[in-house]
Amino acid sequence: MDARIDYYPTHEDNGFRFRRGRPLPFGATMVPNGVNFSVFSSAATACTLVLFRKGDAKPMVEIPFPEEFRVGSVYSMIVFDLDYDRLEYGYRVDGPWDPDHGYRFDRRKILGDPYAKTVGGRDGWRSPPHWDDIYPHRARLVFEDFDWEDDYPLEIPIEDLVIYEMHVRGFTQHPSSRVKHRGTYAGIREKIPHLKALGVNCIELMPIFEFDEWENARQHPETGEWLVNYWGYSTLGFFAPKAGFAATGRLGMQVDELKNLVKELHRNGIEVILDVVFNHTNEGDHRGPTLSFRGLDNKTYYMLTPEGYYFNFSGCGNTLNCNHPVVRNLVLDCLRYWASEYHVDGFRFDLAAILGRDQNGTPLPNPPLLESLAYDPVLAKAKLIAEAWDAGGLYQVGSFPAYGRWAEWNGKYRDALRRFLKGDLGMVGEMAARIQGSPDLYPYRGPTASVNFVTCHDGFTLYDLVAYNDKHNEANGEHNQDGANDNDSWNHGAEGETDDPDINRLRRRQIKNALTLLLLSQGVPMLLMGDEIGRTQGGNNNAYCHDNDITWVDWTLLEKNAELFRYVREVVAFRHAHPVLRRRAPFTHTDVVGSAYPDISFHGTQPWTPDWDGTSRVLAWMLCGKHARVPDDSIYVVANAYWEALPFTPPAPPPGAWWHVFANTSMAPPEDVHEVGKEPRITDSAITVGPRSVMVLVAR
């Protein structure tokens, strides 16, 4: 390569030798003997490359791009003999300052590269920032030399997933985690045995793209505690892993540590889905800092009002202009990079409805970005999951443009399950749809379009859902004004912690009921980190700013709530053991295999007589095992949300088979659940299902 003429310098400036670069790929790319820098701006009048020696306050050189280096709207150059490990780079961009027309160029600022593979400035979590740095979030290079051996994405069929949503830091930061490197990628790796024991085969990481935990940080007006951007739904570097989540971040090895985590998870049969935030950036509105996009090409990257202000469909100040062709390519390049370079298995898109809006914010019938993602060759096997709503009022659960590829967080599933469990009237009909994978929402896409959940990071934990009627967000410092008011929660007789044994028993049962129905529903179940051991946030339903005991998993609960953990583990195992619970296609409600049962049938206290009345609180259904994609046992589930015990007569089991009790949430452990294959047989033709209880039978 060294002999090729195009890799020799043609220019020199202050001892730095360079030449015309290549416009693609964008970003900083290592080439023989040098680095190719390429950056786009549609309206700049000039551009300067700014190079720093890592950590230095002042640049070591600023090299203006000669006009002849520009191709179209792309500035590129190769600079030779740079020390990759100690290099930080940025750009100064000249152009008009004319906010009324959307231009916000400011050559005083040094701007980050949208394609930066790592971003400096937050190398350790909550390390004190250098507030007076002229370039606080510096683009850096990375080596892509990780030894993946034979690893590649697992490509587990989506209907077979049990997803576990987690926050990287919150999962192991609590001292009780007993891991060596708390709050990090390495810490998760140490906890793989817990994930395996639980039986989840996919973790969904809350944002790990580099963000600034100090963004909008403030002190609680009364307690003085620092409230930070803990969740990280505010991206600073779309291609850069969060260094503060790596034990090796200060040594610059966050890329390796994260890749190693992915590789180890894959070896253990666990996929990795990233929660990605493409709806806005951390530059905020017109009052926000100029860090990158705003100064590079404000009009291209952001949705602007005719007056030049920022549309705010994200609720976070600005809205990324995702259906501009240039931005669309940025998103595609980014996801391809994470899929190919980090072996990530899929993506969950935060406020994804925004990705379907045009450049003026109008929802598109055929959004180019969503279509491109669905048909992208590199992403062809990656899971694509939409949070199908946004903060601008667009709610697309069931109607998100899916192209046969996209799944959705099913918010209606969450709401229906919560209401049914607390005994609301008129919920039986809707629950019947929800446990089928919501055919009312996904009649053609089928159950695999539905990611079912009862809790997620946003809102109550499952324990808090059954322990609080109201949110308790005082610790957020906004007088309990923030966070959702409609939680469909119920405290069962006392608000918060209580020593009333009856209430505590009922709460435990309700947690089991919720998780049983969730894991036995068609669709893709998602659990929230810690719900399997009864994690509480003390009733806080909007814990985005807490880097403390509110959000950290307290691992002592694993011992305290061992009963619950055992229960959840067995139900997860039951789901994995029974393909009849994991259909790809909607039910037909007919007997298409000649088993004498339809694929799904509904029942009441008497078989074949479901009670669809608005006053009913009972739902029972049977799944015929012969209709599964591979022959399976039949399963009968009774959900009694009524406050009294009720007698049920199950439908006759298939010839030669007997009903066995897998789970009965009204029973005390160890009778609440049985190991798969070791379920005790029942001999009576009728069963009693306890008050507010779920019972699961399996015929074999």
Binding site for other proteins (CB under 8 A): 54, 83, 85-86, 143, 145-147, 149, 180-181, 185-186, 189, 246-248, 251-253, 256-257, 259-260, 263-264
CA distance 237 to 212: 10
CA distance 342 to 255: 9
CB of 199 vs other proteins, minimal distance in Å? 22
CB of 630 vs other proteins, minimal distance in Å? 32
CB of 167 vs other proteins, minimal distance in Å? 19
Contact 657, 473 (CB under 8 A): no
Nearer to other proteins, 185 or 490 (CB): 185
CB of 193 vs other proteins, minimal distance in Å? 14
3-state secondary structure of 186: helix
Contact 344, 273 (CB under 8 A): yes
Nearer to other proteins, 185 or 233 (CB): 185
Beta bridge partners of 323: none
DSSP state, residue 14: T
Task: Give the CA-trace dihedral at 483, 487, 492, 493, to 10 degrees.
Answer: 50
CB of 263 vs other proteins, minimal distance in Å? 6
Nearer to other proteins, 150 or 486 (CB): 150
Nearer to other proteins, 56 or 549 (CB): 56
Nearer to other proteins, 251 or 668 (CB): 251
Task: Give the CA-trace dihedral at 470, 471, 475, 476, to 10 degrees.
Answer: -150
CA 217 to chain centre: 23
Q: At what angle do helices 411-421 and 428-435 cross, to 10 degrees?
A: 130
Nearer to other proteins, 266 or 660 (CB): 266
Nearer to other proteins, 259 or 575 (CB): 259
Contact 107, 155 (CB under 8 A): no
Beta bridge partners of 310: 304
CB of 181 vs other proteins, minimal distance in Å? 7
CB of 293 vs other proteins, minimal distance in Å? 27
Nearer to other proteins, 31 or 550 (CB): 31
Nearer to other proteins, 257 or 464 (CB): 257
3-state secondary structure of 299: helix
Distances in Å between the Cα of 134 and the Cα atoms of 92, 124, 528 are 12, 19, 40
Nearer to other proteins, 172 or 476 (CB): 172
Sign of dihedral through CA atoms 115, 118, 122, 125? positive
CB neighbourhood size of 302 (10 A): 26
Sign of dihedral through CA atoms 596, 600, 605, 608? negative
Nearer to other proteins, 121 or 252 (CB): 252
What is the number of H-type helices and E-type strands within the chain? Answer: 13, 32
For 13, the token pair is 């400036």
Contact 246, 185 (CB under 8 A): yes
Burial of 139 (0-12, 13-18, 19+ CB in 10 A): buried
3-state secondary structure of 64: strand
CB of 117 vs other proteins, minimal distance in Å? 13
Q: Which of 350, 570, 633, 672 is catalytic?
A: 350
CA distance 700 to 692: 27
Distances in Å between the Cα of 503 and the Cα atoms of 164, 497, 507, 641 are 28, 10, 6, 16
User: Is 333 a catalytic site residue?
Assistant: no
CB of 25 vs other proteins, minimal distance in Å? 21
- In single-letter form, the type of residue at position 609 comes to T
Contact 186, 247 (CB under 8 A): yes
Beta-carbon contacts of residue 388 (< 8 Å; ≥ 6 apart): 352, 353, 395, 396, 397, 398, 399, 400, 408, 409, 411
User: Is 215 a catalytic site residue?
Assistant: no
Contact 119, 240 (CB under 8 A): yes
Chain length of the chain: 700
Beta bridge partners of 648: 687
CB of 164 vs other proteins, minimal distance in Å? 22
HSE-up (13 A, CA, CB side) for residue 203: 27
DSSP 511-560: HHHHHHHHHHSSSEEEEETTGGGT---TT-S--TT--STTTS--THHHHH
Nearer to other proteins, 195 or 475 (CB): 195
CB of 185 vs other proteins, minimal distance in Å? 8
CB of 179 vs other proteins, minimal distance in Å? 11
Pairing of strands 406-409, 450-453: parallel
Nearer to other proteins, 146 or 636 (CB): 146
CA distance 333 to 312: 25
Continuous H helices in 353-447: 368-375, 411-421, 428-435
Beta bridge partners of 642: none
> Tokens 């949430």 label which residue?
665
Q: Which of 210, 257, 387, 599 is catalytic?
A: 387
Beta bridge partners of 211: 235
CB of 255 vs other proteins, minimal distance in Å? 9
Q: Which of 526, 510, 508 is nearest to 518 (CA)?
A: 526
Catalytic residues: 350, 387
